[in-house]
């Protein structure tokens, strides 16, 4: 028997297991409280009047005047429509292009394919400020300045490398035998992609598309730079430009109401597609 080893009774072992389980649950609750409290604080702050905002309380005041004022603001409602259009369009275009690119990079072996994939990854980690001046010149040359089209075009620079990298990794994990059997049957490369591989990529496409949508929905710098007028602004910029009744008043309650309104669609989408998101992000993590 090893010297210095400790032996406990069964009741002591049970108490230790309960203590470990209790500490685990306490840690999980602490992390959840840390993550969810800012959103809860935004909800209760959005239901408070201007006077109640200066008093600390964890209970909502159930005053929805901030929401009424916000929803009667045509600039904010138009910004939601613009954000939905830009985010949805850029996500769909990036998915179509990235599916084709991912198949080429993941299945078709050609010279410099690895170099191309590394370049795609490098582009995805570039700060937006690095490409801002160049994109400004391109947007002006194309005549897209102060149009939602400018954001769709510029968001592809952010979203497309991410979606291409994720889908390439997923396609590489699909069984090679499926494609070989289809080639023997006389299928073209495009038919293999659309009829053989694409049905298997549903979870990956759903998770990648949703993350691309969230990335486009929350983008601020390009939207602030390339859009000039209020009717073409997106939600993040419109929230930052909300003003009170005077130039010295910051409409904190309306900003919190806008934050809740903007985050709610994203939460609904995540809850609707949570199974596909989990299966898509974990696909290929375990290989037999």
Contact by Cβ (8 Å): 287, 173: yes
Most confident of 113-117, 156-160, 189-193, 262-266: 156-160
Nearest residue to 79 via CA among 71, 91, 67: 71
pTM of the entire predicted model = 0.81
Q: Report residue 1's pLDDT band, with 50, 70 and 90 as the boundaries.
A: very low
Residue with tokens 């904190």: 252
For residue range 23-51, list pLDDT tens digits in order. Answer: 989 999 999 889 888 888 888 888 887 77
Question: What pLDDT is recorded for position 282?
Answer: 55
SS (H, E, C) the chain: CCCCCCCCCHHHHHHHHHHHHHHHHHHHHHHHHHHHHHHHHHHHHHCCCCCHHHCCCCCCCCCCHHHHHHHCCHHHHHHHHHHHHHHHHHHHHHHHHHHHHHHHHHCCCCCCHHHHHHHHHHHHCCCHHHHHHHHHHHHHHHCCCCCHHHHHHHHHHHHHHHHHHHHHHHHHCCCHHHHHHHHHCCCCHHHHHHHHHHHHHHHHHHHHHHHHHHHHHCCCHHHHHHCCCHHHCCHHHHHHCCCCCCCCCCCHHHHHHHHHHHHHHHHHHHHHCHHHHHHHHHCCCCCC
150/145 Cα distance (integer angstroms): 6
Determine the longest span between alpha carbons in the chain, in angstroms: 82
Question: What pLDDT is recorded for position 9?
Answer: 67
Question: What pLDDT is recorded for position 179?
Answer: 80
Per-residue CA distances from 70 to 50, 73, 86 (Å): 14, 5, 21
For residue range 217-261, list pLDDT tens digits in order. Answer: 999 999 999 999 888 999 999 888 887 666 667 788 888 888 888
Please give the backbone phi and psi of residue 173, each rounded to the nearest 5 degrees, phi first.
Answer: -85, -5
Question: What pLDDT is recorded for position 94?
Answer: 93
257/76 Cα distance (integer angstroms): 11
Nearest residue to 281 via CA among 200, 169, 174, 194: 169
For residue range 114-140, list pLDDT tens digits in order. Answer: 788 788 777 777 788 888 888 888 998
Q: What mean pLDDT, rounded, does the chain reach? A: 83
Determine the average pLDDT of the residues in 133-151.
Answer: 89
Q: Report residue 286's pLDDT band, with 50, 70 and 90 as the boundaries.
A: very low
Contact by Cβ (8 Å): 235, 217: yes
Question: What pLDDT is recorded for position 194?
Answer: 82
Question: What pLDDT is recorded for position 52?
Answer: 74
Question: What pLDDT is recorded for position 277?
Answer: 64
Lowest mean pLDDT among 144-153, 194-203, 243-252, 261-270: 243-252
For residue range 55-81, list pLDDT tens digits in order. Answer: 777 777 778 888 888 888 888 999 999
240/258 Cα distance (integer angstroms): 10
Q: Report residue 288's pLDDT band, with 50, 70 and 90 as the boundaries.
A: very low
Instruction: Please give the structure tokens belonging to residue 278.
Output: 């989990």
Q: Report residue 6's pLDDT band, with 50, 70 and 90 as the boundaries.
A: low
- Of 98 and 8, more confident: 98
Lowest mean pLDDT among 82-86, 124-128, 168-172, 215-219: 124-128
């Amino acid at each position: 028997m090893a010297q210095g080893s400790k032996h406990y009774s069964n009741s002591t072992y049970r108490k230790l297991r309960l203590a470990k389980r209790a500490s685990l649950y306490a840690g999980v609750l602490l992390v959840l409280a840390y993550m969810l409290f800012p959103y809860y604080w935004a909800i209760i702050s959005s239901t408070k009047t201007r006077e109640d905002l200066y008093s600390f309380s964890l209970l909502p005041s159930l005053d929805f005047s901030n929401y009424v004022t916000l929803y009667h603001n045509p600039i904010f409602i138009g910004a939601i429509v613009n954000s939905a259009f830009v985010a949805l369009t850029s996500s769909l275009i990036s998915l179509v292009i990235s599916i084709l690119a991912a198949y080429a990079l993941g299945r078709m072996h050609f010279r410099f394919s690895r170099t191309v994939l590394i370049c795609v990854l490098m582009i995805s980690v570039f700060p937006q400020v690095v490409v801002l001046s160049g994109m400004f010149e391109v947007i002006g040359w194309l005549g897209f300045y102060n149009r939602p089209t400018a954001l769709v075009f510029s968001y592809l620079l952010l979203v497309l490398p991410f979606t291409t990298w994720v889908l390439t990794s997923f396609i590489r994990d699909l069984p090679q035998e499926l494609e070989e059997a289809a080639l023997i049957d006389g299928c073209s490369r495009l038919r293999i992609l659309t009829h053989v591989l694409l049905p298997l990529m549903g979870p990956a496409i759903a998770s990648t598309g949703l993350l691309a949508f969230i990335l486009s929905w929350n983008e601020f710098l390009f939207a602030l730079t390339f859009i000039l007028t209020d009717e073409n602004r997106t939600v993040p910029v419109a929230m930052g430009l909300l003003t009170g009744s005077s130039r010295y008043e910051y409409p904190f309650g309306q900003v919190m109401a806008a934050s809740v309104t903007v985050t709610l669609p994203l939460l609904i989408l995540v809850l609707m597609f949570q199974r596909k998101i989990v299966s898509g992000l974990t696909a290929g993590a375990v290989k037999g």
